[in-house]
């Protein structure tokens, strides 16, 4: 039983107090409004105040520390701080931080032109959570628009595009005001917005609007973008002087100092724990330097000669104090001011274009010319060029040539008529994959404009994917519209490829953020909307945090199966989609569901997964069945795509990233030097105290004899530790009242943050030395200090509140309301009696970085285990027979369950021990909860790029140089596209093969027939195995008796293989050599017996 002070015999008595100790917090909320109005008016926001009683962690941090109400001279709208729904936006907060999110919440954006590109941009902005999005379009919905706009249905034909878009876009986020504007825009209306985006605007009008925005005070961010068939353009102007506060979104790099020389310039060396990420010219600040204290003044200093573990400081330290020990060096991120040119000036002097594909180095200047020519064509003809019309194409080429001829020294040597012809043919069409890709890029640029977070695109970006066109020449008649929803796509690719898309058998693995985007794209493209079928699978259910980017889900879908809801939403986008939704994880255990016939019938597999192991399994299946695999992934503003094409490219598993470096166990448990170590330890302690130990207690109580016998048989340090924890829970630390839980929490505080540290510095005092004579407490180790508990310290109380509440949960003890009152909790805590603590002389503290366990084996473990079991039996007899504990599984996404409060409390108190900067609960959630940063924009871009590759895959006949793998970072922005790496080729005589090849023998052959089949290829098989069992070896005479047996029968008899009914073949591994006894690595051999 736990010791505690008793105010009365019945337990701690806490009188009700009349004074109000809770804090009032003003809560800003935005009421969703749907409307259509003829003239843009400012969107008001309702404010409401609410009471927030109780203790909670502060809301600072979140990775964004810049303040103020204006960015680069741009207006930020309403200056009231908006309340951030951290459950909804946690993944986005991990990318942007709180300050950026607040700026977004205060930003109003205009999106003009609601065809496919406009709706994609609006979708991404609404998911991001801007204050308001106004949709502008004067035109009406045509059947043609259904190729690329996911909110339109055939019932919307004839309605205004903006009006038809409002209600479905509003569903994405009720905290954003979504409005429509259907009349002609005037310059003056633009002053209502922080950013304006135009997707369907003439150059003349764009220049007029841009001049107004550029000269407005404060400037209005102006973006002009369009997608024309397989070509896209983007122009940004954020004003004459735009300040970028964070150019890349990365945390400042740091290093732990090992030495600093007294030189001019000074050489700074850092510990080789981790490579330095500094670059020449970076500014850094120093802290915690002992000896050379002159550097601790907080002044930024420039560095040069940056190396992996050292750099030179441009400063004379000759007369500074001599460096003794310690010190942290931290990069200082500098704001950057960009001077944007207005559109009129930039057209004639575009500067450097942002490149995406280095194999098309000369393409941006040509497309710069092509888009100007198209604008002139449309202004002269009043329409876009007609797909397949040679006359229109020649007119566009002529216009482009004339513009080029007037450029003087800047003219192009070749206007590339073939490319301009392709440009003209597809100019009217907005393709969904192009809209998705540019919707992601433009959405991110708007976020940059409204927040100053990440480096804007400066200023032109052009892109094309002409490689996506069919390899066979297109007949102009094949491009004519059929009065179908796919007419825009047919005008680019033709009817034959459209038929291939509709008849494709597609497997989409995963229906999270990537999966939702893919389903939308595929439905609009008409994939599996004819004779083909689509299968989507995901074993996960919808959570609130999914809604900020998994846009097919709504709040009323929380708790439902992702795949089912996503499939239903996709069929509402295109009712012709033939889709089956499954809830199976793809892996060896579900090969009865995803069987051989399933894989053999597929046209293509699209990965929408979030973990490497699942990707590797799907990759092996695609390799085995020779199916194309289109893979993609995102991490914050970064995304990548990889095309895995049978016989053309290497497979996904052919190259892997190195594993993440793990901190040694002794570092985490005794010698942390950063907050990550503290949070890793906190998560481990949480699981040990609240999940593993209660589960061990229940395992023991459910079957005492079986449990104790298992511990006796194990007889090791782990078994001893388990029994000690179970005994503690049921004896010394058993809680029967909530006051017991408070006492337990107070004793844990003392143990963790005072006694253990006292023991550590007793065993290793500050002047301790290693066996080599070096100081024990040298970098990266930090000398700790025990904490002195104070009930007036809010951080201490927060830890105790969370710990006592969760301890009570495990014992099923009711939680009183007064625990959330700081004064009453402090009064209860102050009554706890603390036992005296004396450090042990013989305490063993693990310092070996290679150690994998903190438990130390002992020769008398068996005797101790027996003694513990006897004591446990004594405890059990005092318990009610039905007594069980309630293990708590860590759940990071529920801010009301106190899980993150406890983990943040554990980590921050430990950080105080070691003088490590503390973090708020949100940052703690990112690290301890291992939250993967995610935003809608990078997801949209990745899926758009993959779907451009899908055209190539389903058309067939493309070469490896036609495909593209991509890495992109929207924060920089950086786009790097390259053709995939081909597979390694193995040659033998006149044959060659790769990892993609599988040799197939049909008609259920015998062992003799297999050997002869191989011999005909010049290969002598000396060993044949199935699984881990040998079916044949030429060295064993008895094996010659097996010659006339069917291989499948040998597998059943010798290898005891149980072949399931759905499998019609057997895989064997054959070791071969040639006539000169050289080993030849041959492909896997498959024996078909059914």
- The answer to whether the beta carbons of residues 427 and 229 sit under 8 Å apart is yes
- Measure the CA–CA gap between 102 and 79, rounded to whole angstroms: 9
- The CB density around residue 759, as the number of other CB atoms within 10 Å, is 18
User: Is residue 804 exposed (0-12), middle (13-18) or buried (19+ Cβ within 10 Å)?
Assistant: buried
DSSP 3-state of 295? helix
Does an H or E element contain 205, and which?
Answer: helix 203-215
- β 177-181/132-136 pair status: parallel
- Measure the CA–CA gap between 838 and 909, rounded to whole angstroms: 21
- Measure the CA–CA gap between 195 and 128, rounded to whole angstroms: 14
- What are the Cα distances from residue 1057, in Å, to 950, 998, 1071? 39, 21, 20
- Measure the CA–CA gap between 292 and 329, rounded to whole angstroms: 13
Q: Would you give the DSSP letter of residue 402? A: H
* Token code pair at residue 4: 């505690």
Helix residue spans in 477-625 (DSSP H): 487-493, 495-502, 513-525, 562-573, 596-600, 612-625
- β 74-75/70-71 pair status: antiparallel
- Measure the CA–CA gap between 520 and 516, rounded to whole angstroms: 6
Q: Which residues pair with 337 in a beta bridge?
A: 243
**Alpha carbons within 13 A on the beta-carbon side of 73:** 19
Residue with tokens 């630390």: 733
Residue with tokens 């709180």: 98
CA nearest to 671, candidates 917, 914, 903: 914
- Measure the CA–CA gap between 697 and 77, rounded to whole angstroms: 57
Torsion of CA 295, 301, 306, 311, to 10 degrees: -20
Q: Which residues pair with 195 in a beta bridge?
A: 109, 221
- Measure the CA–CA gap between 222 and 134, rounded to whole angstroms: 15
- Measure the CA–CA gap between 189 and 187, rounded to whole angstroms: 5
Q: Would you give the DSSP letter of residue 841? A: T
Helix residue spans in 764-854 (DSSP H): 794-811, 822-830
Does an H or E element contain 747, and which?
Answer: helix 738-750
CA nearest to 702, candidates 876, 874, 563, 491: 876
Tell me if residue 666 is catalytic: yes
- Measure the CA–CA gap between 560 and 547, rounded to whole angstroms: 13
Q: What is the largest CA-CA distance in the chain?
A: 100
- The CB density around residue 861, as the number of other CB atoms within 10 Å, is 18
Residue-wise DSSP of 664-697: PHHHHHH---SHHHHHHHHHHHHHIIIIIHHHHH
- Measure the CA–CA gap between 687 and 74, rounded to whole angstroms: 47
Catalytic residue among 36, 40, 213, 666: 666
- What are the Cα distances from residue 361, in Å, to 355, 641, 1022? 7, 21, 53
DSSP 3-state of 232? strand
CA nearest to 332, candidates 360, 303, 292, 369: 303
Residue 868: partners with Cβ closer than 8 Å, 6 or more residues away: 720, 723, 724, 727
- β 47-52/242-244 pair status: unpaired
Cite the active site residues: 666
């Amino acid at each position: 039983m736990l010791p505690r002070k008793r105010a009365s015999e019945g337990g701690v008595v806490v009188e009700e107090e009349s004074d109000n100790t809770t804090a009032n917090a003003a809560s800003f909320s935005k009421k969703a409004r749907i409307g259509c109005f003829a003239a843009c008016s400012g969107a008001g926001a309702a404010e409401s105040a609410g009471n927030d009683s109780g203790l909670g962690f502060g809301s600072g941090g979140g990775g964004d520390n810049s303040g103020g109400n204006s960015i680069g001279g741009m207006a930020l709208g309403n200056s009231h701080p908006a309340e951030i729904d951290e459950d909804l936006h946690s993944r986005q907060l991990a990318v942007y931080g709180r300050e950026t999110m607040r700026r977004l919440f205060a930003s109003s954006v205009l999106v003009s032109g609601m065809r496919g590109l406009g709706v994609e941009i609006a979708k991404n902005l609404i998911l991001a959570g801007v204050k308001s999005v106004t949709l502008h379009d004067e035109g009406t919905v045509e059947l043609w628009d259904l190729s690329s706009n996911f909110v339109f249905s055939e019932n919307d034909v004839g309605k205004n595009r903006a009006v038809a878009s409002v209600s479905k876009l509003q569903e994405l986020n009720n905290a954003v005001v979504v409005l429509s504007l259907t009349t002609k825009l005037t310059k003056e209306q633009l002053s209502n917005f922080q950013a304006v985006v135009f997707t369907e605007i003439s150059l003349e009008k764009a220049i007029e609007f841009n001049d107004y925005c550029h000269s407005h005070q404060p400037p209005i961010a102006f973006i002009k973008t369009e997608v024309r068939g397989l070509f896209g353009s983007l122009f940004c102007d954020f004003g004459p002087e735009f300040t970028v506060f964070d150019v890349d979104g990365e945390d400042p790099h740091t290093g732990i100092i090992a030495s600093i020389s007294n030189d001019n310039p000074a050489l700074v060396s850092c510990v080789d724990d981790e490579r330095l990420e500094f670059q020449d010219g970076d500014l850094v600040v120093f802290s915690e330097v002992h000896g050379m204290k002159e550097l601790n003044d907080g002044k930024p200093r420039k560095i040069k000669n940056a190396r992996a573990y050292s750099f030179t400081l441009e400063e004379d330290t000759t007369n500074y104090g001599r460096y003794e020990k310690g010190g942290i060096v931290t990069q200082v991120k500098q704001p950057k001011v960009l001077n944007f040119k207005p559109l009129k000036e930039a057209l004639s002097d575009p500067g450097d274009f942002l490149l995406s594909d280095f194999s098309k180095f000369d393409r941006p200047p040509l497309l710069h010319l092509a888009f100007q020519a198209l604008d002139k064509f449309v202004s002269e003809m009043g329409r876009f060029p007609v797909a397949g019309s040679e006359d229109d194409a020649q007119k566009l080429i002529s216009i482009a040539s004339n513009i080029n001829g007037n450029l003087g020294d800047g003219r192009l040597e070749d206007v590339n008529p073939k490319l301009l012809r392709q440009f003209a043919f597809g100019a009217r069409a907005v393709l969904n994959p192009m809209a998705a890709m540019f919707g992601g890029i433009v959405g991110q640029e708007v976020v940059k404009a409204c927040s100053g977070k990440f480096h804007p695109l400066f200023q032109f970006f052009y892109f094309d994917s002409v490689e996506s066109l069919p390899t066979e020449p297109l007949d102009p008649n094949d491009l004519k519209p059929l009065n179908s929803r796919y007419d825009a796509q047919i005008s680019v690719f033709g009817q034959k490829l459209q038929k291939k898309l509709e008849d494709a058998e597609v497997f989409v693995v995963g229906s999270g953020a990537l999966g939702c985007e893919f389903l939308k794209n595929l439905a609009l493209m008409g994939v599996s909307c004819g004779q083909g079928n689509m299968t989507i699978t995901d074993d996960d259910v919808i959570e609130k945090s999914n809604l900020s980017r998994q846009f097919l889900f709504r709040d009323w879908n929380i708790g439902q199966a992702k795949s089912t809801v996503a499939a239903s939403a996709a069929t509402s986008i295109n009712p012709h989609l033939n889709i089956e939704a499954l809830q199976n994880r793809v892996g060896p255990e579900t090969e009865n569901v995803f069987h051989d016939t399933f894989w053999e019938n597929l046209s293509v597999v699209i990965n929408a997964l979030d973990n490497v192991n699942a990707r590797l399994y799907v990759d092996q299946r695609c390799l085995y069945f020779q199916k194309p695999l289109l893979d993609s992934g995102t991490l914050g503003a970064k995304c990548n795509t990889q095309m895995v094409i049978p016989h053309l490219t290497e497979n996904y598993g052919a190259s892997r990233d190195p594993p993440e470096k793990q901190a040694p166990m002794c570092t985490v448990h005794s010698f942390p030097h950063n907050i990550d170590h503290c949070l890793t330890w906190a998560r481990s302690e949480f699981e040990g105290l609240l999940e593993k130990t209660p589960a061990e207690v229940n395992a023991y109580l459910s079957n005492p004899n079986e449990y104790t016998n298992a511990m006796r048989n194990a007889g090791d340090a782990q078994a001893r530790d388990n029994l000690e924890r179970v005994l503690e829970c049921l004896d010394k630390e058993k809680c029967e009242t909530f006051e017991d839980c408070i006492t337990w929490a107070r004793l844990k505080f003392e143990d963790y943050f005072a006694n253990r540290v006292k023991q550590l510095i007793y065993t290793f005092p500050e002047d301790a030395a290693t066996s080599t004579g070096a100081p024990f407490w040298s970098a990266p180790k930090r000398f700790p200090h025990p904490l002195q508990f104070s009930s007036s310290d809010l951080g201490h109380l927060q830890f105790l509140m969370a710990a006592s509440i969760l301890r009570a949960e495990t014992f099923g003890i009711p939680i009183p309301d007064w625990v959330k009152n700081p004064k009453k909790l402090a009064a209860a805590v102050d009554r706890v009696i603390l036992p005296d603590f004396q450090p042990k002389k013989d305490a063993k503290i693990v310092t070996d970085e290679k150690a994998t366990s903190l438990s130390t084996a002992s020769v008398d473990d068996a005797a101790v285990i027996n003694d513990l079991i006897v004591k446990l039996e004594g405890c059990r007899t005092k318990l009610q027979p039905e007594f069980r504990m309630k293990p708590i599984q860590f759940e990071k996404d529920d801010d009301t369950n106190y899980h993150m409060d406890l983990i943040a409390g554990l980590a921050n108190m430990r950080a105080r021990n070691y003088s490590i900067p503390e973090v708020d609960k949100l940052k703690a959630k990112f690290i301890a909860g291992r939250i993967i940063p995610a935003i809608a924009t990078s997801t949209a871009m990745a899926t758009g790029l993959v779907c451009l590759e899908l055209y190539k895959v389903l058309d067939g006949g493309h070469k490896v140089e036609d495909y593209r793998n991509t890495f992109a970072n929207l924060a920089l922005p950086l786009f790097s596209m390259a053709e995939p790496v081909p597979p390694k080729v193995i040659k033998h005589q006149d044959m060659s093969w790769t990892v993609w090849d599988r040799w197939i023998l049909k008609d259920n052959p015998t062992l003799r027939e297999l050997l002869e089949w191989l011999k005909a290829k010049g290969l002598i098989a000396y060993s044949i195995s199935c699984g881990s069992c040998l079916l044949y070896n030429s060295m064993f005479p008895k094996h010659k008796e097996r010659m006339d047996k069917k291989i499948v029968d040998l597998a059943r008899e010798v290898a005891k293989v149980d072949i399931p009914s759905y499998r019609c073949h057997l895989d064997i591994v054959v070791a071969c050599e040639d006539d000169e006894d050289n080993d030849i690595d041959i492909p896997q051999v498959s024996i078909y017996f059914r």
